[in-house]
Amino acid sequence: MAKVNPLAIIGAGAWGSALALAATRNHFAVQLFGNDEYHMQSLIAARDKQGLFLGTPFPQELIPCKNLEEALTGVDDVLIVVPSQAFTSVLKDILHIAPSVRIGFATKGLAPQNQQLLSDEVINHTSADHPIAVLSGPSFASEVARDVPTAVVIASNNTDFRQALKTRFDCDLFRISESDDLRGVSLCGVMKNVMAIAVGISDGLNYGANARSALITHALQEMQALGQKLGADDATFTGLAGVGDLVLTATDDQSRNRRFGLAIGQGMAVDKALADVGGTVEGVANAPVLIELATKHHVTVPICQHVVSLLRGDIEPETLVKALL
């Protein structure tokens, strides 16, 4: 078997680390870098001492890196796993150092500067034929790290790149489906977070299973409506990236977006709810950007609009749910 160059994973938070661990299970080398210097030093020390990584023996294939240049040394493929607000900056840094690398991402968000899908943002900084891929679907980082059964999708504009990523990740308990719908898979990863906030608010108000099911149904319709205007494939929204990730994020309390909505529904102020949840609540940052994107394409997105109105203090949680139903 021909030697495969290491995969660079940029972003050493929970999701990036879980994906790094998943790739090493197939015995492929991963060069991992994150911007938290103390965290990276602790990972390097743990590897040197043959300690633990996410509760497992430190994989010999995993190489924590001191800086971005080291992480990109000798790699053909990169997977960006950083919050959406940092995506463009990280992308530029990567392309400055290694302009020919193939760019994959597992970030679920929009570029806030220009309301672009992240797949389009990569094209803006490379070209339409530059190999790009997105990994998305119903997958909590903690469960991927524990190696419990998970199924996700990789979409790409390049068959070789898609296959290379599938080869690295696909195994008995981490199954990879393939797609060429970059825009649809990217959009699903953004919108499901906002939808999960709305469902969380409803559950925080104890409105029950009927309301929850209705909101999830309306959410999927809203996702499809915008997706159609962006040229996405309808089948994407009924697959893992769409309804799969929507149900996961909207109904399980491992989801930060859902927990944020629950706290709001239970009467907590927005700032307090954000602090209480901890970590990045992507739906909060992306809801207003989604509205701008939808407005550009003349699509009405009532769930997104009501979530933004609530975040601004213009409406109460009860108003949001009743209006959407």
Strands 7-10 and 30-33: parallel
Q: Tell me how far apart the alpha carbons of residues 288 and 271 are, in angstroms, rounded to a whole number.
A: 17
With H, G, I as helix, E, B as strand and everything else as coil, classify residue 255: coil
The answer to whether 144 and 174 are in contact (CB under 8 A) is: yes
Q: Is 92 a catalytic residue?
A: no
DSSP string covering 42-66, please? HHHHHHHTT-EETTEEPPTTEEE-S
Between the alpha carbon of residue 173 and those of residues 25, 26, 29, 97, 146, the distances in Å are: 10, 11, 19, 35, 10
Q: Tell me how far apart the alpha carbons of residues 319 and 299 are, in angstroms, rounded to a whole number.
A: 22
Query: Which of 166, 192, 229, 322 is labelled catalytic?
Result: 192
Q: Tell me how far apart the alpha carbons of residues 247 and 126 are, in angstroms, rounded to a whole number.
A: 34
Which helix or strand (DSSP H or E) is residue 268 part of? none
Q: Active-site residue numbers? A: 192
